[in-house]
Structure 1
Amino acid sequence: MAGRGPSPPRLGWTADAIMCGIAGQVGRPCREALERALQKLLHRGPDQRGTYVAGDVGLAHTRLAVLDLSEDGRQPMTDESGRIRVVFNGEIYNHRELRNELGPARFRSRTDTEVLVRGYETWGIDGLLRRIRGMFAFGLWDERDRTFYGARDHLGKKPFVYAQRDGRFSFASTIPALLELLGTVPSVSTDSVLDFLVNTYIPAPWTIFEGVYKLPPASLLVVRPGEVATVERYWTPANTGHRVRSEEEYLEAVAEKLAEAVDRRLEADVPVGAFLSGGIDSSLVVALMAEKRSRVVTLSMGFEGKGNELPFARAVARHFGTVHHEQTLDLNDLGVLPEIVSHFGEPFGDHAAVPNWIIAKAARSHVTVVLTGDGGDELFGGYLSYPAARVAELVHRTRVLRHVDIPDAISAWAATTPLRKVARVAAMAAAGGRYRIDITGTRGFRGWLRHAAGPRLRGAAAITRCDVRRDELWMKTEGRHWVDRALEVDLLSLLPDDFLTKVDVTTMAHALEARSPFLDLDIVDLTRRMPPELKVRWGRTKYLLRKLAERRLPKGLSSRTKQGFSPPTAEWFRGDREPALRNIVLSNRALERGFFHGDGLRKMWTEHRLARCDHGQRLWLTLVLELWFRIFIDGDGDVAEWMRAERAVA
């Protein structure tokens, strides 16, 4: 579906705060387009901005100064000769070691960005990528070789989107900034809409737009003026086999590596705090921060009712004597959704983006950097889906359910029954033991599209591109233990495409930098050498990490069942707010897009309103999709009217 009009939409608001953002073009760069892109990136970097345009290249940068707050950190950064120019977003955690290896006398600043310049001079792009450790996305232009390099960190913490058309290559940190470089809105990809509705996100390398791509994690892009860009992986997690150690030795190794990772991420010339959920992962991070600093700032998010984790977060904060701040989510907070949708740039269905957004905004008034517990589940086996995957594998081997279309057969039942674990096992077994997102259709539209699909989705493939990607990862790990297989699939797909994207967008929207100690490559390597029974044992998730928690955290916390942060989505589609939301999702304009059949969607809405079935998360996806269309395709200001209507009924 082509965009209406030649230009990207002008959104009706700006972010309250003005973190690093990068953009650029290779081949006939346009300074005016780069300046417009910078305007879309100001929320990521309020401290400095800079552009460079000459010959075949144009580079632009907005900076949130975290290390070396002086003018020496200004970007695009260059060497003395002007041969190398770099724009960089992120942090290089081993920059001190690399600086010493390169020779400190060569450096003009204390920034980690200069390590990229000096490292490329000395080692070339391959040698540089082999050495750097951190979270990053950067663009580097070599004037002598007439070559541009774009790279993204090993696990996908920092974003890099790009497009190539009419002999010009364009890239940026965000889709809205990239649209300014393109000067138009590309066609919407129906395959991407399907990915979003079934899996709740659009996996890399695709985006919502045809011809616009995300650079996958651990990837290097190379392009020369007038040539087609090439992309290849520069790193894959090593499969070195399990090392024989005792449980105690592994416990000590995890404690040591995690302490080192936290220590590296405390380096900053600005205030540093932590997101504290009250779960094991974030609580361990806070415990290690408290060993290094006399004053630790913690921030927590909760909500009224079942599943609220604020009491656990308070207990941890009290135990370690932190300066603790809390936010409480209520139904009125739904009014921030249009602004959230605008920052993601494409439909993104993880409803936890709302509380993440709110706590990030609150955190920015206290700190500039936060440490998080992200990655603990994907490395140490924290999800209940991991034991389910094992049972599914065993059931699959018995050849039971081999030819049953489980998602269609049980999705409606699984959405209402308390036996969801049984449904998940049966569905995975029927899918060949494969490990897919929301395979029972309890969150997205897997198995439900036949009830609500419009003409543009009728006949759509039952297997999405996200499914294919996860199946490929699953098959590549054949022969390894079921725990390690499931962990690797999530580490290389769900984590970067959903969770890390959510954290980056919601924090950077408020010029807040989030750092994840668990995703240190030393910890990744250690967990891959660790026997699977130290991750999941007899159905108990995160076995070894719980052992560490028993020694470091308040009594009882280590035995808690994982809850996850689930906003009251179901309530948002009932009661006083229901008419305003219904008028958006079931409007003629929404249905005319052709993705949904009105009668089917109305039936789901009625079932949800009468509490016959919980369709809250599916209705959430339809709302996000329609808001995205109105912001990015229609660009008619209707979203602002919806915000006023929503607040009026709140």
Structure 2
Amino acid sequence: MCGLTGFWHLRGASREILRSQAEQMSRQLTHRGPDDSGVWCDEAAGIVLAQRRLSILDLSEAGHQPMHSACGRYVIAFNGEIYNHLELRQRLAAEGAAPTWRGHSDTETMLACFVAWGIERTLQLSVGMFAFAAWDRQQRTLVLGRDRMGEKPLYYGWCKDTLLFGSELKALKVHPAFNAQIDRDALTLFLRHDCVPAPYTIYQGVLKLRPGHLLQISLDAPRDAQPTPYWHYNDVVSQGLSEPLACSDSEAADALEQRLRASISSQMLSDVPLGAFLSGGIDSSTIVALMQASSHRPVKTFTIGFDENGYDEAVHASAVAGHLGTEHTELYVSPEDALAVIPRLPSIFCEPFGDSSQIPTFLVSELTRREVTVALSGDGGDELFGGYNRYLTARTTWKRMLHMPRFARKAVAGTLRTIPPVAWDRMMEHAGPLLPKKWRLAAPGDKAHKLAEALMASNGQAFFLNVASRWKEPANMVIGSREPSTLLTDAEAWPEASNLAQWMMAMDAQSYLPDDILVKVDRAAMANSLETRVPMLDHRVVELAWRLPLHQKIRHGQGKWLLRQVLYRHVPKELVERPKMGFAVPLDRWLRGPLRDWAESLLSESRLRQEGYFEPHSIRQKWEEHLSGRRNWQYALWTVLMFQAWLEASQQSA
């Protein structure tokens, strides 16, 4: 795990200037790689590669980057891990293509594979998470690449006559050519999704490389280069749905456990201490259970707890850890500990990011880094195995809606809206003990009003967009903006899945997962110089998951059914069966309490008008309703607050 950056200056410059600018960019990524750093440049070509290293495999000088291939053709700055690199070395040896190895790093393996098989073929044979920049000295071509699922980030953009690239935007921003012009269209996407989805960024002219893509830039026509996929998630979906596994539940559970064990075993390879996040939920418990099953010593596990009622999962994690016999560390954090993270968020994420679980994710990463350098995570289980409640809603609510004429849906929606959310909450509070567990919802009033909006959707895709949106009409909120097309609105990019729940899962895996979940985990962990690995996102696990029929994922109104069957082989059912919580903080109460003055300052009408990005009326209305307790607008407000805090920090550092 590392950080990389660099640039290609088409007009060229002196070696001293090139190196000085690259070193300044690299220093912005010290948190991603505190152990070592390096800069390589070709003065004649104007190309510079820089890397910060967090040493995980081959801690010796032989792992230093940027690294040259043995023949000298390729130079690479690499971030990530190739989990099957030892098998790739064996394959090279069998073909007589192995060089004389200088060390045992996966970066050296990757370079040797480039020489033997070419870059695209190498990536198709590789299992891992990565982003890289490679310079082909023979073809005078720069190649940028990103892993299949988007675990590792890579930004790039032309600024005047210079191509800038790097693991985080903060590295690009310090280059003299960078133009920090905010993209108002991208800001609308941020309001809708809580993040800026790829390929966009908050800055004009700067892009994210999509997962599973390569960008090859030649000297002949450098500005004409367009990213191309070497692996496409929709192909996996299509193939899986057309060639489903015909096997019993027990056989399917065997196949899934075998594939997960193989992925976890490969990701436990490390020359430094390794552990795992453990929330006590299905995903992290499954990962830890299989880690412990293959380990001869107790696995180190980590969780944080809150004393706030309804937000503490530490007790569940402790029960799972006790059963499995892990070496468990938990830390109860105070509201003051959590609130102290907030001023750091703009620098940690370097573009606006509105998922409030960023706070506990940072805190558990900080705790984990005290003991280990690598941590395995359970992310990906929801998208692959049907874990989110919206997939269950798609199978029930939307199906019922399809049989209702539009006038009837409109009438039901109107009825739902006539009852204020606080009244819904009171009714459900009194009726709760009489209702089945699956009907006992958190914030029922807000969910009732959200359902009222969803009832008016014209089709399943519009239903999903409504459910997945934080602000419904963000272009009306951002002055001088127009909402761009994304994966969720571009029908040509949609997967071929006729079942709405499967379609939603495929869309989440290509948008919400890489643009929100994986960004959150990467930035929060790397801010603490902690490497995270996600075994469920091994592409072979992904491919198997899509060959499993939907009834083995969602059954009897419960998601992740098959994943649960694997977990029950290792952990008693009663230790992990409970309503899905998510990694949350009591944001609604904080905004009415200790964060009120901070939020009021950022959301003041005069400030909003002076800055000129937002129409103040709707924001002020939601803020006042939230303070009064009439509605809970915590997440919508948090999205705006994160932009405002980021904008303030950007202006102060300019």
TM-score after normalising by structure 2: 0.87
The answer to whether structure 1 residue 513 and structure 2 residue 531 are counterparts is: yes
Match of 2:67 in 1: 77
The answer to whether structure 1 residue 21 and structure 2 residue 21 are counterparts is: no
Q: How does 1:561-572 map to 2 (within 5 A)?
A: 561-572=579-590
Match of 2:568 in 1: 550
The answer to whether structure 1 residue 432 and structure 2 residue 437 are counterparts is: no
In structure 2, C-alpha distance between the alignment counterparts of 1:172 and 1:68, rounded to whole Å: 23
Q: 1:623 to 1:425 in 2, by over 3 A?
A: closer
Q: Tell me the CA shift for residue 296 of structure 1.
A: 1.0
In structure 2, C-alpha distance between the alignment counterparts of 1:473 and 1:310, rounded to whole Å: 42
8 A contact 1:474–1:486 mirrored in 2: no
Match of 2:405 in 1: 400
Q: Paired residue for 1:382, among 362, 387, 396?
A: 387
Aligned residue-pair number? 609
Q: Tell me the CA shift for residue 503 of structure 1.
A: 0.3
Q: How does 1:366-381 map to 2 (within 5 A)?
A: 366-381=371-386
Q: 2:460 aligns to what SS in structure 1?
A: coil
In structure 1, C-alpha distance between the alignment counterparts of 2:576 and 2:653, rounded to whole Å: 49
Moved more, 406-415 or 77-86: 406-415
In structure 2, C-alpha distance between the alignment counterparts of 1:438 and 1:324, rounded to whole Å: 40
Q: How does 1:349-498 map to 2 (within 5 A)?
A: 349-391=354-396, 393-395=398-400, 397-398=402-403, 400-401=405-406, 417=424, 418=444, 427-428=453-454, 430-434=457-461, 439-440=466-467, 444-446=470-472, 453=477, 456=479, 464-465=483-484, 468-472=486-490, 476-498=494-516
Q: Tell me the CA shift for residue 247 of structure 1.
A: 1.1
Give, as a single letter, the amino acid of the residue that structure 1 aligns with 2:622. Answer: M
In structure 2, C-alpha distance between the alignment counterparts of 1:310 and 1:337, rounded to whole Å: 22
Q: Tell me the CA shift for residue 334 of structure 1.
A: 1.7
Q: 1:565 aligns to what SS in structure 2?
A: coil
Match of 2:313 in 1: 309
Match of 1:102 in 2: 92
Per-residue Cα deviation, 1:212-249 (whole angstroms, up to 9, x for no partner): 00001001001123621321111113222212111111
In structure 1, C-alpha distance between the alignment counterparts of 2:261 and 2:516, rounded to whole Å: 26
8 A contact 2:128–2:147 mirrored in 1: yes
Q: 1:473 to 1:506 in 2, by over 3 A?
A: farther
Match of 2:281 in 1: 279
Match of 1:642 in 2: none
Give, as a single letter, the amino acid of the residue that structure 2 aligns with 1:232. Answer: T
Give, as a single letter, the amino acid of the residue that structure 1 aligns with 2:170. Answer: P
Give, as a single letter, the amino acid of the residue that structure 1 aligns with 2:192. Answer: V
Match of 1:525 in 2: 543
8 A contact 2:376–2:534 mirrored in 1: yes
Match of 1:125 in 2: 119
Q: 1:592 to 1:404 in 2, by over 3 A?
A: farther
In structure 2, C-alpha distance between the alignment counterparts of 1:308 and 1:412, rounded to whole Å: 34
Match of 1:93 in 2: 83
Q: Tell me the CA shift for residue 341 of structure 1.
A: 1.4
Match of 1:639 in 2: none
Give, as a single letter, the amino acid of the residue that structure 1 aligns with 2:602. Answer: I
Q: 1:295 to 1:302 in 2, by over 3 A?
A: same
Moved more, 297-306 or 345-354: 297-306
Q: 1:184 to 1:584 in 2, by over 3 A?
A: same
Q: 2:78 aligns to what SS in structure 1?
A: strand
In structure 1, C-alpha distance between the alignment counterparts of 2:376 and 2:462, rounded to whole Å: 30
Q: 1:221 aligns to what SS in structure 2?
A: strand
In structure 1, C-alpha distance between the alignment counterparts of 2:629 and 2:473, rounded to whole Å: 20
Q: 2:330 aligns to what SS in structure 1?
A: strand
Q: Tell me the CA shift for residue 428 of structure 1.
A: 4.6
Q: How does 1:557-636 map to 2 (within 5 A)?
A: 557-586=575-604, 588-635=606-653
Q: Paired residue for 1:320, among 312, 320, 324?
A: 324
Q: 1:572 to 1:306 in 2, by over 3 A?
A: same
Q: 1:106 aligns to what SS in structure 2?
A: coil
Q: 2:196 aligns to what SS in structure 1?
A: coil
Query: How high is the sequence identity, in percent, across the aligned residues?
Result: 34
Q: 1:524 to 1:394 in 2, by over 3 A?
A: same
Per-residue Cα deviation, 1:121-167 (whole angstroms, up to 9, x for no partner): 01112211211110000111111101111100000000000011333
Q: 1:470 aligns to what SS in structure 2?
A: coil
In structure 2, C-alpha distance between the alignment counterparts of 1:615 and 1:476, rounded to whole Å: 31
Q: 1:562 to 1:301 in 2, by over 3 A?
A: same
Give, as a single letter, the amino acid of the residue that structure 1 aligns with 2:227. Answer: V
Q: 1:473 to 1:330 in 2, by over 3 A?
A: farther
Q: 2:545 aligns to what SS in structure 1?
A: helix
Q: 1:162 to 1:449 in 2, by over 3 A?
A: closer
Q: Tell me the CA shift for residue 254 of structure 1.
A: 0.6
In structure 1, C-alpha distance between the alignment counterparts of 2:347 and 2:569, rounded to whole Å: 43
Q: 1:607 to 1:633 in 2, by over 3 A?
A: same
Q: Paired residue for 2:519, among 483, 486, 501?
A: 501
8 A contact 2:169–2:351 mirrored in 1: yes
Q: Tell me the CA shift for residue 184 of structure 1.
A: 3.6
Q: 1:439 aligns to what SS in structure 2?
A: helix
Moved more, 623-632 or 223-232: 223-232
In structure 2, C-alpha distance between the alignment counterparts of 1:105 and 1:147, rounded to whole Å: 23
Give, as a single letter, the amino acid of the residue that structure 2 aligns with 1:323. Answer: E
Q: Tell me the CA shift for residue 607 of structure 1.
A: 1.8
In structure 2, C-alpha distance between the alignment counterparts of 1:407 and 1:188, rounded to whole Å: 38
Moved more, 193-202 or 510-519: 193-202
8 A contact 1:147–1:222 mirrored in 2: yes
In structure 2, C-alpha distance between the alignment counterparts of 1:391 and 1:425, rounded to whole Å: 12
8 A contact 1:64–1:511 mirrored in 2: yes
8 A contact 1:435–1:486 mirrored in 2: no
Q: 1:630 to 1:177 in 2, by over 3 A?
A: same
